[in-house]
């Protein structure tokens, strides 16, 4: 027994490795050419590409240990009072690795002996040492999880053919992605990260292979496919952002979608969206500094202020699925930029994948918890109304003679046909405009306006036919002679109980003898009983 104690430690290691088989020894021998070989004379430990001097293993392993934890670790933990063998109970918010193997990796990779994990962003953010029990880790959306979410949406455990390894508890650990003995694929990865191949072992993002980000067709973005996930996501970093993003979501998107490139860390987009968001009327992607308790850390949701988002803000991902966006339109009523986006249907139920553009808009502007009853646009566009613009379904009127060529009574329109950039040569979509309500062309909200201030309507309706009284014989009288705007009589979205989008709720339209209504008898003809511009109309025919 005494002689056994004199046997060199590396000899015992060699005997143990020999029992594993020649193929396994060959694999373990690859460590000799990696940074994990801490021997001074690296070449001396190899013979015919096989490790013959196993003393290099002692930097991580030792064959005898009082309280054994497999594999047998040699390196002492950075925090002496941290119990390496202590079992950590998983919680819904844990982000630190639970397995002893990963915690041993962190004993070196904590920034003291080896490269830190997570990486330190800059000096003003001190390193968080995950091996220290007294350090509270951030919320779990801020780091790559070490367990799989219960939902399983777009993420699942790697299949049996995968080279990734899970722990005995089917959790992710450091060695899931990294093989500490083999650096052939760089960063000790088990699967190549070219085109984020290793990410795709667990993450199965919808439409990624056909998306602009995953499979760019524009030569300007050719290198984007190689970088893939890492263009936007950082796996090992603190401080961290939601979804493992390199910056907050909106800032990150605009770092590329600004029409320029720094030729180092980003790829150029052809359009400058950042400039559009500087216009007077935009979707609120920036938090109002005068409003508190909003953003990623908010405990409660703030209500909408009568449809005005001065106490709320939106993220690019609220409308777009960055893993699925494509330059090809999905259908005439769904742009490719909205492919596989979430939404809310016409009656207020959430959808994981939209079929119509309006379902994206209805997340905030439809019949759901974000909008107070009576202020949502979705109620005006409902197919149950007496009249509506054909967003959800084709219109009810069989004759609309003012329509321009290319439009018909069976046509569907989208929200972005009216709402979007007022610069037709700039980036399209309802991001921002110089005009109120993020409109693409002038549209006056006031009863009196010049015909030039109503150009939005004339994008679909022929101005010559409108003032020529085709469809309604008093259009010219109201527009050219009286100087009324389209909005003086019409609601651009819909009307609950009047034909032709007639809006009788406006202050300049009052009841006559307690009655205020418009009756449609046939397309373009009917009667009205009301008082408007101080003129009384009693069953007046039109």
**What interhelical angle do 22-29 and 9-18 show, nearest 10?**
130
Q: What percent of the chain has pLDDT over 70?
A: 68
Going by C-beta distance under 8 Å and a sequence separation of 6 or more, which residues neighbour residue 351?
342, 343, 344, 345, 359
The structural domains of the chain, with segments of one domain joined by +, span: 2-59
In 197-264, beta strands by DSSP E: 237-238
The residue among 239, 230, 262 whose CA lies nearest residue 122 is 239
> Of 487 and 309, which is predicted with more confidence?
487
pLDDT (mean) for 451-469: 93
Among the ranges given (47-51, 248-252, 466-470), the one the predictor scored with the smallest mean pLDDT: 47-51
> Of 376 and 432, which is predicted with more confidence?
432
Cα(163)–Cα(190) distance, rounded to whole angstroms? 6
What pLDDT, in 10s, does the model give residues 373-429?
556 888 999 999 999 999 999 999 888 999 999 999 999 999 999 999 999 999 999
Q: Give the residues across from 439 on adjacent strands.
A: 419
Instruction: Locate 372 and state its tokens.
Output: 């107070």
pLDDT (mean) for 452-481: 91
The pLDDT assigned to 39 comes to: 77
Sorting pLDDT into bands at 50, 70 and 90, what band is 241? low
Cβ proximity of 142 and 95 under 8 Å: yes
Q: Could you identify the residue written with the tokens 């590329």?
A: 256
Q: What is the mean pLDDT of the chain?
A: 77
What pLDDT, in 10s, does the model give residues 93-102?
444 555 777 7
Grouping H, G, I as helix, E, B as strand and the rest as coil, residue 286 is: coil
Sorting pLDDT into bands at 50, 70 and 90, what band is 33? confident
Cα(25)–Cα(48) distance, rounded to whole angstroms? 12
Tell me which H or E stretch contains 388. strand 387-388
Tell me which H or E stretch contains 540. strand 535-541
What pLDDT, in 10s, does the model give residues 49-88?
666 677 777 777 776 655 555 566 666 554 433 344 444 4
Q: Give the residues across from 75 on adjacent strands.
A: none
Q: Above 70 in pLDDT, residue 344? A: yes
What pLDDT, in 10s, does the model give residues 282-327?
888 865 444 444 333 334 443 333 333 444 578 888 899 999 999 8
Q: Above 90 in pLDDT, residue 271? A: no
Cα(412)–Cα(410) distance, rounded to whole angstroms? 7
Cα(287)–Cα(469) distance, rounded to whole angstroms? 47
Sorting pLDDT into bands at 50, 70 and 90, what band is 156? confident
Instruction: Locate 454 and state its tokens.
Output: 């109503």
* Torsion-angle region of 119 (φ positive above 0: left; ψ -120 to 50: alpha; else: beta): beta
Q: How many helices and strands in the chain, by DSSP H and E?
A: 13, 14
pLDDT (mean) for 24-28: 67
The pLDDT assigned to 60 comes to: 78
pLDDT (mean) for 186-198: 90
Cα(336)–Cα(322) distance, rounded to whole angstroms? 11
> Of 464 and 131, which is predicted with more confidence?
464
Instruction: Locate 353 and state its tokens.
Output: 């994948």
The pLDDT assigned to 34 comes to: 85
């Amino acid at each position: 027994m005494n002689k056994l104690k004199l046997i060199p430690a590396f000899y015992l290691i060699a005997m143990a490795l020999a029992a594993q088989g020649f193929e396994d020894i060959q694999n373990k021998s690859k460590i000799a050419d990696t940074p994990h070989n801490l021997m001074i004379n690296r070449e001396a430990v190899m013979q015919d590409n096989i490790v013959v001097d196993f003393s290099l293993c002692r930097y991580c392993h030792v064959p005898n240990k009082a309280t054994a934890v497999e594999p047998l670790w040699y390196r002492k933990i950075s925090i002496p009072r941290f119990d390496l063998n202590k079992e950590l109970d998983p919680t819904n918010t844990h982000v630190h690795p639970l397995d002893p193997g990963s915690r041993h990796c962190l004993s070196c990779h904590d920034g003291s002996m080896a490269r830190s994990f997570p990486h330190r962003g800059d000096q003003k953010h001190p390193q968080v040492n995950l091996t220290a029990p007294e350090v509270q880790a951030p919320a779990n959306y801020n780091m790559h999880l070490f367990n799989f979410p219960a939902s399983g949406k777009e993420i699942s455990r790697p299949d049996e053919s995968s080279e990734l390894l899970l722990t005995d508890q089917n959790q992710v650990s450091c060695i899931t992605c990294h093989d500490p003995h083999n650096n052939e694929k760089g960063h000790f990865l088990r699967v190549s990260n070219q085109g984020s191949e290793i990410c795709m072992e667990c993450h199965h993002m919808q439409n990624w292979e056909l998306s602009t980000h995953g499979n760019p067709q524009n030569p300007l973005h050719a290198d984007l496919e190689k970088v893939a996930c890492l263009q936007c996501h950082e796996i090992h970093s603190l401080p961290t952002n939601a979804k493992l993003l390199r910056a907050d979501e909106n800032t990150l998107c605009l770092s590329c979608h600004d029409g320029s490139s720094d030729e180092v860390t980003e790829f150029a987009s052809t359009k400058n969206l950042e400039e559009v968001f500087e216009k007077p009327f935009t979707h609120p992607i920036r938090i109002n500094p005068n409003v508190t308790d909003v953003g990623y850390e908010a405990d409660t949701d703030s209500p909408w202020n009568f449809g005005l988002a001065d106490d709320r803000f939106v993220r690019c991902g609220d409308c777009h699925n960055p893993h699925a966006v494509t330059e090809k339109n999905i259908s005439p009523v769904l742009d490719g930029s909205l492919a596989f986006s979430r939404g809310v249907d016409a009656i207020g139920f959430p959808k994981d994948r939209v079929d119509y553009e309006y379902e994206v808009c209805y997340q905030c502007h439809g019949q759901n918890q974000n909008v107070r009853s009576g202020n949502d646009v979705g109620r005006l566009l409902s197919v149950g109304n007496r009249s509506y613009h054909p967003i959800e379904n084709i219109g009810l009127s069989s004759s609309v003679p003012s329509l321009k060529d290319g439009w018909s009574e069976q046509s569907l329109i989208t929200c972005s046909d009216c709402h979007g950039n007022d610069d037709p040569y700039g980036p399209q979509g309802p991001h921002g405009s110089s005009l109120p309500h993020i409109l693409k062309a002038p549209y006056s909200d006031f009863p009196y306006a010049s015909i030039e201030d109503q150009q939005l309507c004339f994008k679909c309706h022929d101005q010559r036919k409108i003032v020529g009284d085709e469809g309604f014989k008093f259009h010219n009288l109201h527009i050219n002679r009286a100087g009324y705007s389209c909005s003086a009589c019409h609601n651009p979205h819909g009307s609950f109980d009047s034909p032709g989008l007639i809006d009788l709720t406006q202050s300049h339209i009052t009841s006559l003898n307690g009655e205020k209504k418009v009756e449609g008898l046939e397309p373009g003809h009917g009667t009205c009983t009301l008082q408007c511009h101080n003129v009384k109309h009693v069953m007046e025919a039109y």
